Amino acid sequence: MKRILALILVAGAFIISGCGSGVETSTDTSNGQVAGTTLRVLTHDSFDLTPEVLAAFEEQTGITVELIAGGDAVAMVNQAILTSGNPVADVLFGIDDNQLSTAREEGLFEPYVAVDRDRIRADVAVPAGDIVTPVDLGDVCVNFDRTWFAERGVAPPSGLEDLADPAYAGLLVVQNPATSSPGLAFLLATVAAFGDGYGDFWQQLTDNGVVVSDGWEEAYYGEFSGGSGEGQRPLVVSYATSPPAEVFYSESYAADLAAGTLPAEAPTGVVPGTCFRQVEYAGVLAGASNPAGAQLFINFLLSDSVQSDIPLTMFVNPVRSGVALPEVFERYAGSPGEVWSLPAQQINAARTNWVEEWRRIVLG
């Protein structure tokens, strides 16, 4: 997740060094083979890195990086599938574990895993076939606007079941799972929690006035009332790390940090028991015009420099072991409680049916 405020730069940018934490190379991805070329990277709209970090990669390799925004993650992957074999980019970043089966079926990627694969956290698996490299992970959760609930003397929901309570009618905005990665993750959370009864739960949410947006930015900034949102609804599907983003990007953050007067809590919170874990990956697109440069870029994404940069640019967790999290990140990240999950094989087999059933119930 990123917060779009161009005037705020991340203090103490992490610069790639020429040894250890910089870009790793191997005999078939040497700098000499790709120097002076362009590398096209297809990403979702929330991809962000500190400019100095990306510039260091370009300087070290001689590669000019062209970022291509593909919308929300689901829309981005769909775009890549439509151009499979003749891709618009060399690298795709931001496909999550819930979409990998589709990518595999479509032959979207050339197998490649970053050279530092042994530094990936033990609880994050490299997918079978080595087709992609894990880059970050986050928990998709329902967020709530603390001020809205406090001003009305209403307790925020305490779990998934509460979202269907008439006390919260018309308060929740979610994303369409057919077009949005967090929307799909939240749908999967309901499947994990309610099993075959997930459809009944969504019918209850529909009857309770749930609002649907196509993507995360539309939902969070356009419909949500909390933090930087400008809408009217105090419940939104977002991330467990959205609360620290709200603190970090607040107008008073720098002054509060200097004065030691940071707030006791973020303006938004996380509804426990509503979270589903996502891992995001990067891969070399089949038919890439610069596969050697693509491999270098994937090595770069797993480097210390990028992994240290991720928390305060995209507000997700690094997957490289031993990377320290910034204080604001650890202090304000919401506690997700129980994190829902489903076996990959089950998601692969039933995802399309779940989404179609969701459409029938919610969109009619």
pLDDT digits (tens, 9 = 90+) for 199-226: 999 999 999 999 999 999 999 999 999 9
Q: What 8-state DSSP symbol labels residue 169?
A: T
pLDDT of amino acid 336:
83
| pTM assigned to the model | 0.81
Closest CA to 100 of 343, 358, 364, 363: 343
CB 317 within 8 A of CB 137: yes
The CATH-assigned architecture of domain 139-276+337-363 is 3-Layer(aba) Sandwich (3.40)
Residues of the chain with pLDDT under 50: 1-32
Q: Is 68 exposed, middle or buried (CB count within 10 Å of its CB: 0-12, 13-18, 19+)?
A: middle
Rounded Cα distance between 310 and 308, Å, is 6
Angle of the 344-358 helix axis to the 181-194 helix axis, nearest 10: 100
pLDDT of amino acid 36:
64
pLDDT of amino acid 30:
41
Rounded Cα distance between 347 and 99, Å, is 9
Domain 31-137+279-329, CATH number (from 3.40.190.10, 3.40.50.1820, 3.40.50.300, 1.10.3720.10):
3.40.190.10
Query: Which residues pair with residue 95 across a beta bridge?
Result: 281
Return the structure tokens found at 69: 């925004």
Task: Kindly report, residue by residue over 102-118, the tens digit of the pLDDT.
Answer: 888 899 999 999 999 99
CB 293 within 8 A of CB 61: yes
Per-domain boundaries in the chain: 31-137+279-329, 139-276+337-363
Judge whether 31-137+279-329 and 139-276+337-363 match in fold: yes
Rounded Cα distance between 22 and 61, Å, is 11
Task: Kindly report, residue by residue over 264-293, the tens digit of the pLDDT.
Answer: 999 999 999 999 999 999 999 999 999 999
